[in-house]
Structure 1
Amino acid sequence: MGVVARKGMLVYKIYRALSYVVSPLLQIHLRWRKIRGLEHPTRLPERLGRPSLTRPPGPLLWFHAVSLGEGMAAIPVIKECVKWRPDLNILLTTTTMSAFEVIINQLPTGVLHQFSPIDTPAAMDAFLDYWNPNAIMLLESELWPNLIMASSRKGILLALLNARVSMKSFKLWSAPVLFPLISLLLSKFSLIIPLSSMQAIHFQLLQAPPFIINFAGDLKYVVEYDASKEQFRSIDDLKVQLGHRKVWMASSIHRGEEEVMLGVHKVLKQVYPDLVTIIVPRYPQHGKDIAQECRNCRKKGSMLL
């Protein structure tokens, strides 16, 4: 084992010890998220590695995505797996409620869904022991140490699809403390498919083995929505509704930011009377609160709508 690998193992042991210590706090945090509507009301145990479904017999392939974008990018690959390997059991895990609410209706028949376990030794070991996947497909930048190291110890194949690392994360991962750990984690993968040539260079600079890096393009460009399962308004219908009106969209906003957006809408409305403002919250449940706020503003006459 080289110097970098030894340092990486030392950092991992520190991370693992810390994750043991903070496990009770993370469980409290999950319950707080449940109260706020950010976790599923009846499936919180899944986040601790406790299954709510029966594992079917036979080989199993685990796809892990965090939110909606990563989950949708996984669907084309899942469909191909179902097409060419009907004998293969497929499990998809997501973290956010927004991803679950959309993706659950897009999955092929027979594909299992669970909420992803938090990256603590107890939760991850319980999850892996129960589901016992033959291979794991992680989406984008899900480099969780306990997940990767536990999977490697169990001989489970690891792949990173649509792999990317932001410039902020790249600088952080290149720092002296984290670089050995990231290098160690990347060495456990059998396949890394970056979404661009630049991303491939980033992973090589982080010491991912060059022979496991294979470029295939961005999976998000091949995502298709199944209109028979989701009632999406067509582009043509939307154009008819909007006509030639000015449109401004505030996308993926967090709680509290809608006040700023509504203030901007009020100012712009004075210049463009036919303006249509579209607010897309990060979390769907937040949309109900925004809609109610807009209705209250209209009743009070405090905003031009």
Structure 2
Amino acid sequence: MAYSTKKGLLLYNAYRTITYTLSPLIRLHLRWRIFQGLDHRSRWPERLGRPSVPRRPGPLVWFHAVSLGEGMSAVPVIRECVRKMPNVNVLMTITTMSAFEVLRNWLPSEIIFQFSPLDTPGSIDSFLHYWKPKAIVLMESELWPNLIMHASKNGITLALLNARMSEKSFEIWSRPVLLPLISLMLSKFSLIAPLSTEQGIRFQLLQAPPGIISFSGDLKYVIEDFGVNGRGRKSIDDLRSQLTHKQVWMASSIHRGEQEIILGVHTTLMQLLPNIVTIIAPRHPQHGREIAKKLEKEGHNVILRSQHKKLKPDTNIYVVDTLGELRHLYMLTPIAVIGGSFLPRSTGHNISEAASAGCAVLTGSHIGHFSHMVLEMQRLSPLSILQVSGKIELEKTLIQLFTNATLLEAHRIAAKEAFSRLSSDIVTNVLFIYWKPTTNLTINSIQFVELSSSHQFNLKM
């Protein structure tokens, strides 16, 4: 073990040297991302660890999520943190612009919201020196060597919630040359809460200390309803009334390359069901605008969500190019096809939101780390999730559902019931944060508690 730790330290020092040496190039890459609209034009210094708001006095807990899905999974824990620890500052960082645009409007006002620092020595040092967190809660797969090692060196408690590692990442980290580094990094955590048993086994095989692994369930089952503003609510209601006499299905979280499959299926359905309306919600809004532009050139009558136009009698494709409305749009359709699952090397997307809305849920065969969610729901009810192999099977399944109302209703009920059973346990078992006051009402410790196993770690303030 001592030899492995020594080798892990040598590998980390090599990584630190490389990232320090390449810092100028990484900054140039950041500038390029800003030019491409992938990073914020005015808040980019935050990516270098430079704050844009003052640090409030008092202890601080830092939550970090890379993108929108992970960020939404963190929100229930953050809200519990704010409720249970009103005297503790909470900082949340994200990486992607999509997460920034949605979450900044829905996080509690008292949450400090920043873009995450790049994993270079200078950025991490600057960030930790300024914010001085007492604990860092990382979401899912954010395992960055400089962040983890610098935090540990500074005595900062580390937790990894909804922990997951893709099959590809697991294969890479399992290689003899890299295993000592990941083993060293995982040893710095006080708590790792995998989102499934399979993921827990992967972390154990990567030599995470067994005593820090605690199972609580997938936080994606308890993602909150962020709601919509008054204008958005009226727009949803108007769209619902326009779709009342239509046969509707929705393809959500579509990735580039999948639109050809969805549009091909739409063409087939049009021949059999002239009253069909296909809602396409790409993963990224810009992709939606590109799809709409291409379809318009081909003579299709397409409506873009951001334009808030009414459907015409011959409108049969509705393209969503907005963020943060997916859960509400699921309420408008009896059938949801979840993208990011139809092309090789895809990893799937969250199916629970569609199931909670009472949709008949379909997904492709490439579902990556969401396979545990599919298996859990299918174990409760085989009708809850339908997996199809590709375009032909998707067409066949959709035709069956649209032409058999009894079958469609059975799938919708099964999906909603399976979701309800799985999510109800997580409300009581999920990791939450609470504070333990001393007799003089000052904060003495923060404890992360997992009810089902009574696993906890203390953070002395």
Q: Give me the TM-score of the superposition, normalised by structure 2.
A: 0.60
CA deviation profile, 1:55-114 (whole Å, cap 9, x unmatched): 111001000000011000000000001111000100100000111111112211210110
Give, in angstroms, the shift of residue 237 of structure 1.
6.9
1:247 aligned partner, one-letter code? W
* Cα 1:242–1:143 shift into 2, 3 Å: farther
In structure 2, the partner of 1:6 is: 6
In structure 2, the partner of 1:147 is: 147
Gaps of 5+ in 2: 303-314, 318-461
In structure 1, the partner of 2:172 is: 172
Give, in angstroms, the shift of residue 292 of structure 1.
3.4
In structure 1, the partner of 2:40 is: 40
Number of aligned residue pairs: 303
In structure 1, the partner of 2:351 is: none
1:278 aligned partner, one-letter code? I
* Cα 1:245–1:77 shift into 2, 3 Å: same
Between 211-220 and 62-71, the greater mean CA deviation after superposition: 211-220
Distance in 2 separating the partners of 1:245 and 1:304: 10
Gaps of 5+ in 1: none
In structure 2, the partner of 1:196 is: 196
Residues 119-268 of structure 1 aligned to structure 2 (within 5 Å): 119-227=119-227, 229=229, 231=232, 238=240, 241=243, 243=245, 245-249=247-251, 251-254=253-256, 258=259, 261-262=262-263, 265-266=266-267, 268=269
1:81 aligned partner, one-letter code? C
CA deviation profile, 1:167-192 (whole Å, cap 9, x unmatched): 22111111111111110000000111
1:291 aligned partner, one-letter code? A
Q: Give me the TM-score of the superposition, normalised by structure 1.
A: 0.89
CA deviation profile, 1:6-44 (whole Å, cap 9, x unmatched): 111111111111112222222122211112211112111
In structure 2, the partner of 1:16 is: 16
In structure 2, the partner of 1:287 is: 288
Distance in 1 separating the partners of 2:238 and 2:181: 50
Give, in angstroms, the shift of residue 280 of structure 1.
2.5
* Cα 1:6–1:274 shift into 2, 3 Å: farther
> Which is greater in Rg?
2
Relative contact order (C-alpha < 8 Å, sep 6+): which is higher?
A: 1
Between 216-225 and 291-300, the greater mean CA deviation after superposition: 291-300
Between 11-20 and 288-297, the greater mean CA deviation after superposition: 288-297
* Cα 1:88–1:300 shift into 2, 3 Å: closer
Give, in angstroms, the shift of residue 239 of structure 1.
8.9
Distance in 2 separating the partners of 1:176 and 1:193: 25
Distance in 2 separating the partners of 1:252 and 1:58: 43
Distance in 2 separating the partners of 1:206 and 1:9: 16
Q: Percent identity?
A: 56
In structure 1, the partner of 2:298 is: 297
Distance in 1 separating the partners of 2:60 and 2:153: 18
Distance in 2 separating the partners of 1:107 and 1:72: 10
1:296 aligned partner, one-letter code? K
- Conservation of the 8 A alpha-carbon contact between 1:106 and 1:229: no
- Conservation of the 8 A alpha-carbon contact between 2:66 and 2:96: yes
